Structure formats: C-alpha cells, structure tokens
Amino acid sequence: MAENMITTRSLGVAVEGVKDQYADGKAAKVWEVFIGDKNSRTENYKNFLVGLLREKRCKRILDVACGTGIDSIMLLEEGFEVVSVDASDKMLKYALKARWNRRKEPAFDKWIIEEANWLTLFDDIEDLVGDGFDAVICLGNSFAHLLDSYGDQREQSKALRNFEKCVKPGGFLLIDHRNYDSIIDTGETASKCIYYNPKHTTDIRTSVLYVSGKPALVTLDYLIDLSSENEKSDIIYPDESISEFRLSYYPHRLKVFRQMLEKAFGENSSYRIYGDFKTLDQIESPNFYIHVTEKSSTIF
Ligand SMILES: C[S@@+](CC[C@H](N)C(=O)[O-])C[C@H]1O[C@@H](n2cnc3c(N)ncnc32)[C@H](O)[C@@H]1O
C-alpha cells in the first residue's frame, strides 16, 4: 500500500477535527488567494454554469455552499436572483463584505446571505424557499466536506433530501465532487483546477484514510505560494512565502453518489453527469464530476 494511505478501524478524532474546517479563518483567508480574482472564473466554468441555468430558464438560485461568494457573485453579475448560504461565518465574512462594498448595485442590495447548515437547511431557510428555487447549486467540491460519521452516509442522505426540498418541481440541483475514484486508485490529486485560475497553487498533497478496509477520508494539503501576495502592502499574510492549509473530504464514488441522488429525488427525476463540463463520452478521467438532477415536475 502506498505511503499516503492510512488504515484505521474508526474515524475517531478525525471526525471532531473536521466539523468546521474553516473555523480558524486560515483556510478562508488563503482560499481567497487560491481561487484568484473573483472576476476570472475559468471561461469554461462560467459558460457551463450560466449557459445551463439560462437554457433551463432558471431565475432564482440558491447557492448552498457560497463560501466567500465566488459563484453567487458571478450569478448576480449575470442577472440571476441569488440566495446564498454557508455554515462557516469565516467564509461568509468575505461574501458579506462584497455585498456591502457593492450595495449600491440593485442586484447586490437584494442579495440574501444567511448562515445555514445542510443538515438543517430546509428548517433554517423555509421562509425563503417559497415554492422552491429554480436551481440549487452546491459546487467547488463542497459537499464532500460532509463526512460519513456513522458509516452509512445517513448525513449525506439527509443533506440531499434538504436540497431536494428547496428545489421547485421541474427545477434543478447542480452538485459536484472531485474524481475520488481516481484519487483512491492513484493516491494523487490533480493540482490543475477547472474552476478557478489559481496562479499560486504549487501542490496538493493527498492522504487517503481507510476505515475497516474502506476509503473513508481524503485529506488534501494545499500548498499555496504567497510570495507575490506578500509584496502587496495592504494584505498581511504569514511571513513564509509558502502557506499550507488542510481540508478533509469524504471520497464519493461516482456510482454510489448517483444512487444517493436518486434516493433523494426519486426515480421520476432525471440525472445527467458531466466530467470537467463535458459529457462523459467526451472525457475519460476528469478531475471533477458535476451532477445535474432535474426534479420531477409531478408531485406524487
Ligand atoms: C470548498 S468551499 C467552496 C465554496 C465555493 N462554492 C467556492 O467554490 O469557492 C466549501 C464550502 O462549503 C461549506 N460547508 C461545508 N460543510 C457545510 C455544511 N454542512 N453546511 C453548509 N455549508 C457547508 C464550507 O463552510 C465552505 O465554505
């Protein structure tokens, strides 16, 4: 077995350690550098997301993992009405700041930002759901932050059911995850990113934790070169030029994830999967999978 694979009988301490992974504010701060200029989402990403939402005539979008606000801001700028939620106040701080700075623009003045957790999402924002959103998005490999504390993915199922309740009949869920099948097989994570324009990522070190013989946790150590940022006088980063932050993820297998979606949205909904924004017959081993689920318009 490769050196970066660890085996254990239980998730143990790791579960406690990853509950609010952005709480110390370090990852949130470096995340802003990692994702680069908010105006420079990769063209492929923007064309895919905005194109799909327009094609489906979506207007009202719920971003359930808004983080520092990068997707939400892009969608506001493209004329969508956006409600944004996230569980981390350290990440939300940046979205709130962007809203404040651009409050004179009507779209930003109307932008709703709330703190909410996927496990209680529907109850947290029921008053905002109304007849449901045209689309719910959960992007940037966010969903994999939810770990499998009980070994039966009950929390992931609960979160997906909450997402389903927020989507109107005939509406969409767009949710993604890294290609964990490949990460598990190779023990490596591609540092090339299809979403952002990361000028500073030098490496992503990968560890896979096995619990009772099954891959249960992937830990990614992001190495970010901040030397050029430190030259700017108004931004204070640690003295070292290489900053490191660690995030942990549940390694979703493509097939199992697809089945979980079907359990939450039912067999009358429709399911499509893209790999790095291409259909699966166009790409062999993508870095990211994006699931597009169209909720059945018939209520049974
Ligand atoms: C990797 S960041 C991505 C943010 C943004 N979508 C992007 O692409 O930059 C993941 C976000 O998911 C949020 N998150 C993780 N678990 C959550 C949960 N249970 N409920 C709500 N948000 C959660 C984190 O706080 C974090 O801001």
Average pLDDT over residues 122-143: 96
What pLDDT is recorded for position 41?
66
Contact indicator for 144, 109 with CB cutoff of 8 Å: no
Flag whether pLDDT at 28 surpasses 80: no
Question: Residue 284 sits in a domain of what CATH number?
Answer: 3.40.50.150
CA pseudo-torsion sign 42, 44, 49, 50 = positive
Distance in Å, CA 46 to ligand 1 centroid: 19
Classify residue 299: in a domain, yes or no: no
Going by pLDDT thresholds of 50, 70 and 90, the confidence category of residue 298 is: confident
Ligand 1 atom having least distance to the Cα of 86: 22
Please report how many Cα atoms fall inside a 13 Å half-sphere around the Cα of residue 19, on the Cβ side.
Answer: 6
Classify residue 193: in a domain, yes or no: yes
Residue having the nearest C-alpha atom to atom 1 of ligand 1: 142
Contact indicator for 292, 258 with CB cutoff of 8 Å: no
Task: Establish whether residue 138 lines the binding site of ligand 1, counting it when its CB lies within 6 angstroms of any ligand atom.
Answer: no
Classify residue 256: in a domain, yes or no: yes
Residues 6+ apart with CB under 8 A from 273: 254, 258, 280, 289, 290, 291, 292
The Cα–Cα gap between 253 and 215 comes to 10
Classify residue 153: in a domain, yes or no: yes
Q: Is 140 a catalytic residue?
A: yes
Buried b (16+ CB within 10 A) or exposed e, 246-270: ebbbbbbebeebeebbeebbeeebe
Task: Establish whether residue 117 lines the binding site of ligand 1, counting it when its CB lies within 6 angstroms of any ligand atom.
Answer: yes
Q: Is 118 annotated as a binding residue?
A: yes
What is the pTM for the complete model shown? 0.88
Residue holding tokens 């901040």?
Answer: 226
Bridge partner list, 81: 60
Classify residue 285: in a domain, yes or no: yes
Contact indicator for 42, 195 with CB cutoff of 8 Å: yes
Distance in Å, CA 229 to ligand 1 centroid: 24
Classify residue 300: in a domain, yes or no: no
Residue holding tokens 């009202």?
Answer: 60
User: What are the pLDDT digits (tens) for 170-225?
Assistant: 999 999 999 999 999 999 998 777 777 666 666 889 999 999 899 999 999 888 77
Task: Establish whether residue 86 lines the binding site of ligand 1, counting it when its CB lies within 6 angstroms of any ligand atom.
Answer: yes
For 66, the domain range is 2-11+18-294
User: What are the pLDDT digits (tens) for 144-161?
Assistant: 999 998 999 999 999 999
Residue having the nearest C-alpha atom to atom 20 of ligand 1: 117
Ligand 1 atom having least distance to the Cα of 138: 6
Classify residue 135: in a domain, yes or no: yes
Residues 6+ apart with CB under 8 A from 215: 180, 184, 208, 209, 251
Task: Establish whether residue 71 lines the binding site of ligand 1, counting it when its CB lies within 6 angstroms of any ligand atom.
Answer: yes
What are the helix (H) ranges across the chain?
13-17, 26-35, 43-55, 70-77, 89-101, 106-109, 121-129, 154-166, 180-186, 227-230, 254-265
Residues 6+ apart with CB under 8 A from 30: 222, 224, 226, 237, 243, 245
When divided into structural domains, the chain yields a total of 1
From the number of C-beta atoms within 10 Å of its C-beta (0-12, 13-18, 19+), residue 106 rates as exposed
Residues 6+ apart with CB under 8 A from 234: none
What the block records as the tokens of 173 is: 């869920």
Classify residue 106: in a domain, yes or no: yes
User: What are the pLDDT digits (tens) for 231-269?
Assistant: 554 555 555 667 777 889 999 999 999 999 999 999 999
Q: Is 45 a catalytic residue?
A: no
